[in-house]
Structure 1
Amino acid sequence: MPLADAPAPDDAIVEDALPTRGELDFRLIELFFFAYREFTGDADSILERYGFGRAHHRILHFVNRDPGMTIAEILDLLEITKQSLSRVLRQLIDDGFIAQVQGTDDRRQRRLYPTQKGRDLTLELSRAQGRRIDAAFRAAALDDPGLVNDFLLEMGADRKATRDWFARKGIGRENR
């Protein structure tokens, strides 16, 4: 029989749930989880029609936001491997959503551009997500999204590539 002060073995079954509020506040963690699921779900249902997934969406999004970006830039921004990018990018190129163009200064460089087909799909995906964001703002009676902007900026700006992206695209603290 174990002593009362002895720690339980690692494989001991735990029957009590972690409290919603205690050492950690699970409310926001779970709100983020479910909000992200619904936010991505809107786009997922559209992507499914094309046989695409979230990786396709991310590449389409950023290539449309920065036409001419290099393979190295998208790898750095998304923090993915060449191998994971290669399969998804190949499909987007083969299906006519993205064009890969040889660099003019460095012929080894590959620049990525959306095609009109890629632009149209990106806008369809973004409009679906924008409708969810707008509806949530209305339902929460948030007339000024500035606080949400600032909060998300703080949540997502740890990495240099992200901070550089924000600076290039004019994404920063809201001036109220």
Structure 2
Amino acid sequence: MAEGSNSAMGGENLLFLTDEQLRKGIEAMFFAYRGFTADPDRILDAHGYGRAHHRALHFINRTHGTTVNNLLNILGVTKQSLNRVLRTLIEDGLVESRVGRKDRRERNLFLTEKGDTLERALSEAQRERMRAAYRAAGPQAVAGFRLVLEAMMDDEIRRQYLNMRDRRT
């Protein structure tokens, strides 16, 4: 377990956290996010892409055949922003847009073989970092971490996350 990561060892009362304890948690999240995105950022940069491209690839992979509207809902971005990202990914041969079978106005999104290869490289970099952190922290900390993340989500976003988490692809 990482030094200082066990709040009981540090004597912190989890029922009442001081502003200083909360600040430390916020800063830890900022720095952890930097680490979590560092490896994918290097891979994306080599291709001329950014984090928005990564998020789109991740969720297109996670929800094969998702519609553009569903992806908008998942990502919480503007249509204009998503269209820019999707246009690039489609033009570069990473994503395929197919006309919907039930509703021809819908566009269903799928990763191509090239898109799948890039998405796997991005995800593997993050899985390795998460795997190492989870092993270092231990199973109770992992479960607690997930509970904290879920508790930070707004109700609608949590519902969306739980639906996606429970879906098998």
TM norm structure 1: 0.78
Mapping 1:44-83, distance limit 5 Å: 44-83=41-80
Give the partner amino acid of 2:133: A
Give the secondary-structure state (helix, strand or coil) at the position aligned to 1:91. Answer: helix
Determine if the alignment matches structure 1 residue 112 to structure 2 residue 109: yes
Among residues 145, 149, 154, which one is paired with 2:146 in the alignment? 149
Give the partner amino acid of 1:152: L
Give the secondary-structure state (helix, strand or coil) at the position aligned to 2:47. Answer: coil
Residue by residue, what CA displacement relative to the aligned partner does 1:113-149 show, whole Å, maximum 9, x if unpaired? 1111111111111110111111122333x13422222
Higher relative contact order (CA 8 A, sep 6+): 2
Q: Percent of aligned positions with the same letter in both sequences?
A: 44
Give the partner amino acid of 1:169: R
Unaligned runs of 5+ in 1: 1-20, 172-176
Larger Rg: 1
Structure 1 segments of 4+ aligned residues over 3 angstroms from their partners: 21-24
Among residues 103, 119, 123, which one is paired with 2:100 in the alignment? 103
Give the secondary-structure state (helix, strand or coil) at the position aligned to 1:105. Answer: coil
Please report the RMSD computed on the Cα atoms of aligned residues, expressed in angstroms: 1.8
In structure 1, the residue matched to 2:13 is none
Distance in 1, matches of 2:25 and 2:100, equals 45
Distance in 2, matches of 1:70 and 1:60, equals 13
In structure 1, the residue matched to 2:162 is 166
1:159, distance to aligned residue in structure 2 (A): 4.6
Distance in 1, matches of 2:156 and 2:19, equals 31
Distance in 2, matches of 1:55 and 1:159, equals 23
Residue by residue, what CA displacement relative to the aligned partner does 1:26-63 show, whole Å, maximum 9, x if unpaired? 10010000000110111100111110000000000000
Distance in 2, matches of 1:139 and 1:133, equals 10
Give the secondary-structure state (helix, strand or coil) at the position aligned to 2:139. Answer: coil
Number of residue pairs aligned between Structure 1 and Structure 2: 149
CA contact (8 A) 1:76 1:161 kept: no
Distance in 2, matches of 1:160 and 1:48, equals 32
CA contact (8 A) 1:77 1:162 kept: no
Unaligned runs of 5+ in 2: 1-16
1:85, distance to aligned residue in structure 2 (A): 0.6
In structure 1, the residue matched to 2:8 is none
In structure 1, the residue matched to 2:129 is 132
Distance in 1, matches of 2:122 and 2:164, equals 23
Give the secondary-structure state (helix, strand or coil) at the position aligned to 2:104. Answer: coil
